[in-house]
Amino acid sequence: MKLRAAIPNAVTIPIVEQTGSLEARRTFYWKVCSNRMGTRERIVAAAAQLYGRYGYTGVGLKQVAAESGSPIGSLYHFFPGGKDELAAEALRLSGAGYQTLVEGILENMPDLASGIEQSFALAAETLAATGYVDACWIETVALEVASTNEPLRMVTAEIFDRWIDSATALCESHGLASEEARELGIAYITGLEGAFILARSLRSPEPLLATGRMLAASAREAQAAAGAGARRPSAKVKGPRR
């Protein structure tokens, strides 16, 4: 599977074909990004990983500096708005990366239902490989800031909206009408995010696998009802605009 990740304020990184677990491929992805990024982009990438694992309040700027291999002064130089400005950049980086990975999985499957089920299976594989620590980095922060930090809540909402638009466009490309495509797109994102929470709490892949199967069945039913024929080229939903 060949993917390209749009990195805000950086460069477009080609991700070469990888074998092995999804976790190994994602580790490779971050290594490639880190090796080709400048100081500012390394700081953002490190912040994205740390916030995704430990939450927004659980990570200090000194920890981000140490993880990125940058002096603390560089963080204040590149992000005069402080931790909120850095977190917004980190969230957008993560959002673009996840969107690219999921689109790559869905678009390389022979049909919509297979793509949905496979994406949930790969998510389960990745989560289990990290000891149920790394799920969706956006979700981790979104739950934390939803009622406490309006600027960051708006950033997470922007990312979720873009994911829904992307999922909707993909469903439309498989023959579903706009309204039904959007409903399935919302169900896909909601199912993935909710299943991540249950899977982490239960330390089990079952919520992700079960949700993937049920959504795949819903996709088959919707396509059958719509009499969906051959797949149409989908309109790409671009990454975050700055």
Reported as a single tens digit per residue, the pLDDT across 85-120 is 999 999 999 999 889 988 988 888 889 999 999 999
| pLDDT band at 33; cut points 50, 70, 90 | low
| pLDDT band at 228; cut points 50, 70, 90 | low
CA distance 226 to 137: 35
Which sequence spans correspond to the domains of the chain? 3-226
CA distance 166 to 160: 10
State pTM to two decimals: 0.78
CA dihedral of 32, 38, 40, 44, whole degrees rounded to 10: 0
Distances from the Cα of 233 to the Cα of 84, 108, 236, angstroms: 38, 13, 9
Question: In degrees rounded to 5, what are phi and psi of residue 173?
Answer: -65, -15
CA distance 101 to 93: 12
> Taken in order 48, 93, 212, 119, is the CA torsion positive or negative?
negative
Percent of residues, the chain, with pLDDT higher than 90: 67
Say what the pLDDT of residue 46 is. Answer: 92
CA distance 145 to 150: 7
Say what the pLDDT of residue 148 is. Answer: 94
| Phi-psi label, residue 20: left if phi above 0, alpha if psi -120 to 50, beta otherwise | left
pLDDT in tens, 174-209: 999 999 999 999 999 999 999 999 999 999 999 999
Query: Mapping DSSP to helix (H, G, I), strand (E, B) and coil, where does residue 240 land?
Result: coil
* 131, burial (CB in 10 Å: exposed 0-12, middle 13-18, buried 19+): exposed
Say what the pLDDT of residue 31 is. Answer: 52
Tell the CATH topology of 3-226.
Answer: Tetracycline Repressor; domain 2 (1.10.357)
Q: Six-digit token pair at 100?
A: 């690219």
CA distance 54 to 141: 9
Residue 123: count other Cβ atoms within 10 Å of its Cβ. Answer: 25
